[in-house]
């Protein structure tokens, strides 16, 4: 499983599930395109992730990490979360999910197959307990 990082609002040691840029989920149509039947598929966007938390935008990285990343300006209610332990390469991430890197520092967690948006959101939410805070 690829290793990915994302800054999300932390609730009891796990990411908050939702449909904002700071939660475990996606925004429509900002993050992913949905067809008229309510379906999503690979190659049409997904939840943004990075291969290292240091590659994330400075406005997402919590201010408390400013001693590591200059000009970090994200909310201290958020944490840098990690999922997986493999290379940042295209492949299965969890049930129903895959990683599609689109640059050396960014990728999308997207549906592994065509499915309804609600199922994709459920698949993302199902990973909640597998994300680990990693700010080292």
pLDDT in tens, 64-88: 999 999 999 999 999 999 999 999 9
Kindly report the pTM of this predicted structure: 0.96
Kindly write down the DSSP assignment for every residue of 76-115, as one continuous string: TTEEEEEE-SB-SSSEEEETTEEEEE-SSS-EEEEESS-E
Q: Which residue has the tokens 């939410």?
A: 125
Q: In the chain, what percentage of residues exceed pLDDT 90?
A: 100
Q: Is the peptide bond before 68 cis (omega within 30 degrees of 0)?
A: no
**Position 60 confidence tier, pLDDT thresholds 50, 70, 90:** very high
């Amino acid at each position: 499983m690829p290793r990915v990082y994302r800054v999300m609002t932390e609730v009891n040691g796990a990411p908050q599930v939702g449909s904002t840029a700071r939660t475990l989920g996606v925004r429509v149509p900002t993050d992913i395109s949905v067809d008229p039947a309510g379906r999503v598929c690979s190659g049409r966007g997904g939840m943004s992730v990075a291969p290292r938390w240091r590659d994330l935008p400075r406005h997402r990285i919590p201010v408390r990490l400013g001693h590591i990343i200059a000009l970090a300006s994200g909310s201290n209610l958020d944490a840098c979360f990690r999922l997986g332990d493999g290379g940042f390469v295209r492949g299965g991430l969890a049930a129903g999910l895959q990683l599609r890197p689109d640059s050396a520092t960014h990728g999308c967690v997207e549906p592994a197959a065509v499915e309804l948006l609600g199922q994709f959101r459920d698949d993302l939410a199902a990973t909640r307990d597998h994300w680990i805070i990693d700010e080292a």
